[in-house]
Amino acid sequence: MRPVLLVLCLLAGALQVQAQAPFSTLEFQVLTTSNVNRNLLHEYWRPGRGGTITLATPFYWGITETGATIHRYNAARDVPGFGAFWVFAGWSVDWRLKSTIAVRPGLRLGNYRMSFDGAETTFAGVSTESDLVLSGGVAISAAIGPTWGVSARADYLRVHTTPLLRLWYVSGGLAVRIPAGRRLRALLE
Amino acid sequence: MRRLPCGKLRPLVAALILLANATAASAQPGVQTLTSDDLARAGITRLSDIFALAGTWSTFSTEDYHWDAAPLGVTWETSSAWKLFVDESPVDLRALGRQSINGLPLSLSEVCTVQLHTLPVIIGGLIAAAGAIHLQTCPVTHGLSARGVLGVGNETGDPGPWRYTDFGGPNVDRTGPTIQGVIAGGGRNWHLRAQAILDEHHATDPRIRTRVRTLYVGEKDARIFLRAGRASFRLGTHTITGAAARTEDLRYSETLGLEAPVNHETAYVRANGTWRKMGYRLSGMQSNVLTRRNLGSVNVDFEQNALRAHLYGRFTGNRAQAEFGIRGAYLRTIPFPVHNVQMLTLGSVYGQLDALLGRWVKLVTMGSFSIDGRAPGYSAFGSLGFLPADVRLTIAMNDRSYAGQHDLAYWLTQGYQPTSPGSLPVELQASDKREQVLSADLSWHRRRDIELSFTGGFRRHRGYPLLSYAAIYDSLTTGLKVATTARSIAGNTLRGEAELRMPLGHYVTAAVHAAYAYIMAGQHEYRAAWHQRVLAYAQVDFAPNPRFTLHARARYRGVSNWPDYSAAAQAAPEHYAFRMPAAVLVDLTAQKRLWGERLRLSATLRNLADHSHISHPAGSRTRLLFQIRIQYRFEAVI
């Protein structure tokens, strides 16, 4: 029920704040990412460093985005380490606190691919495994001039393994916004 | 004055006619029409996914790939009674008594409309007394075109990193990839179309895997793998079609209580066309179910060649249209372990009349006399519609030999005996060998902004050829030992359905549908065969922009009971069940068109609430499933 309420809140927000024409701009973000929470997973693996790239553009309502995060988990016990590749598509709304500062809450849906070091994970002998990720997060961004900006965000991920994998990621980095070309806009529309 | 480019308009006109037909059909109670847009909006990646949109069809599957389906009011054990049509031509895909729509060598991108008939209907000169699924392909556009659909899916619940700890379980089912491609070229008077399909499904649920691993040889994983191709050529009004499909299968056999490792190979050639007022449909089909090498001495071999011919004449007047035809089929079958070739000849003549009686009454009637093997029989259909009130009465009668259906029950009576180490001989108590069905349905429809329809009906079955099973748990293999009995049984059923469809503002349309079947009277086996009696769904489509849609659907599946599995469920409740609780399954799809009309992306979450659900007593547990569908379309006018 909580995700439904969250979507309804975001939708209400989107109705109020939609200002830009759909697909009129592209915003690239390059962020460094860390896994900050600790639970049962972290008794077996130590999170290493990671990075995120995202591409966002105004949608019919709100903002749509796509991107990927890579992250490393090193073995803390007698288990294989793994690299995680989270690819996602998302939707968020932009609430302007000031002309240069915006808060952007949103939802993401994606795939969490885990590549294990020198291990066969499945019956068929494959060393990777993919699972669905549903996540919610909030970003705060500040503009430094008309094009550049800085951004920080926090995301809560539910990776649908059994048992469920719950992760908190925090990220920070640079953002650049450019107008979308006519051709690209025609493609996306 | 400049002339209109008729050639270029032809595909448009054809599409408009199709759309008009679809609109008309969707307005009929007892028919659910799904357009290619509906399928894309709902993120359909396989033909069997259509059942997720079907309001009045109860469906069961062990591995979520082959779906036993039947309109509520008919049992799936006699699911062969409903008929599958492609462009008015009947198609028979049955293997081990089941018709799996995924085995059809037809790309989803070529399907323009799907009609799901829950009431008796006439299609292509045939009475489909127990309902029908009718797929209509898209006309080939003028010039060169290419289309493709790619679908992938992943069910949640894999262990992920937990595999290397004490907490991880086994992997769960994976859907796809499903790859379908079509290339076509067409002119004013001709077209050539070729299509190919690759589909893969991994059934890794522990309930299936433990059964399969004690049986299969040299296979790392329990998977279903389909390869299919189809080509058609049209010149004027004549079309010739050739198709072949091969499924490396793990087909669950109710008679054996296990997943038989088989390769199902089908191939057919079909020619159809019209000349003045005459028409013809000719086809030759080969269908072989061949058992792969296995550790359990399982053998379910079944080979069949069929030749079918249908000739008809159609005469149109001002207020009436009549059709007369003759139909014949010759089946050459080698069922295991009967190594003698068995011949079966079927023939029928029929007459059909569609007429407007006065201004307000529309009559559709048909009578058919048949010789099935050596047994005579008849079928009759009548539909009377009172146009001002949108009320329709449909009556269908059928009195034919079992041979007319030539389904699994019939072949078991002819000596077909699928075997496994634990299998028991089939007990035959089908003394009657004739099937008599009478159905009457009354429907009403209100066509306004708020559409409303009701349908109520009655089914009377006599000499109904039904297979019943007594499944006992085998702790050695975690499989079953099954005693199968073929009986002629009798019973009566009432069924009803209601639908409400309405717009909610500019962006939202909503629909609610419910169906119920009530067993009035019948033998124990007849009552037991109605596993499911209540189905309902609520659907909301949200389209803030024509190029972006959200589709949400909540399906309610009533409690289903399987008394045949009660002994096995009591012995091994972790592997089998005999009473499946009611479930609400919510699906959500977001769809976006890109690059003009060339690209369509959709992402679907099936069983969004992650409700652990089983649809068959021996089936896998369904969890939240994530699916992606990418559809590409390219068209160039030469």
Strands (E), A11-147: 25-35, 45-58, 63-75, 82-92, 95-96, 101-116, 128-144
Write the DSSP string, B517-584. EEEEEE-HHHHHT--B-EEEEEEEEEEEETTEEEEEEEEEE--EE-GGGHHHHHH-TTT--SEEPPEE
The answer to whether the CB atoms of A121 and B167 lie below 8 A apart is no
Q: What is the pLDDT of residue B397?
A: 94
- Report residue B460 as tokens: 């009377």
| CB contact residues (below 8 A), chain B span 536-595, against chain A | 544-545, 547-548, 594-595
Within chain A, what is the greatest distance between any pair of CA atoms?
55
A176 touches chain B (CB under 8 A): no
Residue ranges of chain A whose pLDDT lies below 70: 1-19, 119-126
Report the C-alpha gap between B260 and B250 in whole angstroms. Answer: 5
Report which of B12, B100, B118, B109 is spatially closest to residue B58, judged by C-alpha positions.
B118
Residues of A in contact with B610 (CB under 8 A): 160
Q: Which phi and psi angles does B190 have, rounded to 5°? A: -155, 165
- Given an 8 Å threshold on Cβ–Cβ distance, is A189 in contact with B547? yes
Listed residue (B572, B593, B457) closest to A187, CA to CA: B593
Distance CA A23, CA A59 (A): 6
**Which of 153-182 (B) contact A at CB < 8 A?**
154, 156-165, 167-169, 171
B425: pLDDT confidence band, cut at 50, 70 and 90?
Answer: confident
- pLDDT class for B590, splitting at 50, 70, 90? very high
Q: Which of B154, B167, B221 sits opposite A163 (nearest CB)?
A: B167
Cα dihedral sign, B51-B52-B57-B63: positive
Greater pLDDT, B149 or B413: B149
Give the H/E segment covering residue B23: helix B6-26
For residue B4, the tally of other CB atoms under 10 A from its CB is 8
Closest-CA residue in chain B for A78?
Answer: B164
Euclidean distance between CA atoms B226 and B202, whole angstroms: 12
| Summary mean pLDDT of chain B | 87
pLDDT confidence of residue B6: 42
Query: Residue B130: which pLDDT band, with cuts at 50, 70 and 90?
Result: confident
CA separation for the pair A97, B198 (Å, rounded): 52
CA B270 to chain centre: 20
B388, with CB counted inside 10 A (0-12, 13-18, 19+), is exposed
Cβ neighbours of residue B535 closer than 8 Å, sequence gap 6 or more: B55, B56, B57, B58, B72, B514, B515, B516, B555, B556, B557, B558
Question: At B161, is the pLDDT very low, low, confident or very high (cuts 50, 70, 90)?
Answer: confident
Determine, for residues A123 and B220 on separate chains, whether the beta-carbon distance falls below 8 Å: yes
Select the more confidently predicted residue: B564 or B424. B564
How confident is the model at residue B156, as a pLDDT?
80
Cβ neighbours of A167 in B, within 8 Å = none
User: Residue B638: what pLDDT?
Assistant: 60
Question: Considering CB atoms only, which of B162, B548, B595 is closest to A163?
Answer: B162
Mean pLDDT computed over B41-47: 91
Name residues 599-628 of chain B within 8 A of A (Cβ): 603, 605, 610, 624, 626
Helix (H, G, I), strand (E, B) or coil at B420: coil
Asked if residue B120 has a cis previous peptide bond (ω within 30° of 0), the answer is no
- Give the residue from chain B lying closest to A2, CA to CA: B609
E strand intervals along B39-170: 57-60, 68-71, 83-86, 89-91, 94-95, 98-99, 111-117, 121-123, 126-128, 132-137, 143-155
Cα angle for residues B73, B74, B79 (degrees, 5° grid): 155
Give the per-residue pLDDT at B480: 87
- Greatest alpha-carbon span in chain B: 84
Residues in chain A with CB shorter than 8 Å from the CB of B545 are: 22, 60
Contacts of A79 in chain B (CB under 8 A): 161, 164-165
Cα separations in angstroms, B618 against B150, B158, B171, B207, B500: 30, 20, 18, 7, 35
Nearest beta carbon to residue B158 from set A45, A109, A129: A129
The verdict on pTM exceeding 0.95 is no
Residue B105: which of B12, B248, B215, B228 has the closest Cα? B228
Residue A3 DSSP code: H
Return residues 2-61 of A near B (CB < 8 Å): 22, 40-41, 44-45, 59-61
Residue B220 has a pLDDT of 62
3 state SS of A19: coil
Contact between A104 and A143 under an 8 Å Cβ cutoff? The reply is no
* Poorest-pLDDT segment among B63-77, B88-102, B273-287: B63-77
Please report residues of B whose CB lies closer than 8 A to that of A44.
Answer: 161, 164-165
* Contact with chain B for residue A85, Cβ under 8 A: no
Higher pLDDT, B584 or B431: B584
Chain B residues within an 8 Å CB radius of A80: 164
Q: What is the pLDDT of residue A2?
A: 60
- Which residue stretches of B83-155 are H helix? none
pLDDT at B636 over 90: no
In B394-520, which residue ranges form alpha helices assigned H by DSSP?
Answer: 408-413
Q: How do strand B121-123 and strand B57-60 relate by DSSP bridges?
A: unpaired
- The CB-based long-range contact list for A47-52 (8 Å cut-off, 24+ gap) reads A47/A71, A47/A72, A47/A73, A47/A74, A48/A72, A48/A73, A48/A74, A50/A84, A50/A169, A52/A171, A52/A173
Q: What is the structure's pLDDT at A15?
A: 55
Who has greater pLDDT, B152 or B281? B281
Tell me which amino acid residue B23 is. Answer: T
Q: If we measure between CA atoms, which residue out of B600, B592, B606 comes closest to residue B630?
A: B600
Residues 218 through 277 of chain B touching chain A, CB cutoff 8 Å: 220-221
Test B221 with A119 for CB contact under 8 angstroms.
no
Give chain B positions within 8 Å (CB) of A111: 154, 626
Give the strand pairing for B391-401 and B375-386.
antiparallel
The verdict on a CB contact (< 8 Å) between A44 and B220 is: no
User: Which of B80-94, B209-223, B430-444 has the least mean pLDDT?
Assistant: B209-223
A111·B154 Cβ contact <8 A: yes
For B574, residues 6+ apart whose C-beta sits below 8 A from its C-beta are none
Phi and psi of B82, rounded to 5°? -80, 155
- Is a pLDDT exceeding 80 seen at residue B500? yes
How large is the ipTM?
A: 0.84
CB spacing of A123 vs B154 below 8 angstroms: no
Q: Determine the residue of chain B that is closest to A188 in CA distance.
A: B594
**A159 and chain B: CB distance < 8 Å anywhere?**
yes
CA distance B154 to B173: 7
Q: How far is A163 from chain B (nearest CA, A)?
A: 7
What SS3 state is found at B332? Answer: strand
**Two structure tokens written together for A11:** 């939708």
Chain B contact present for A80, CB below 8 A: yes
**Residues 107 through 146 of chain A touching chain B, CB cutoff 8 Å:** 109, 111-112, 114, 116, 119, 121-125, 129-132
Q: Residue A179's pLDDT is what? A: 92
Distance in angstroms (rounded) separating the CA atoms of residues A68 and A112: 10
Give the A:B interface size as CB pairs under 8 Å: 86
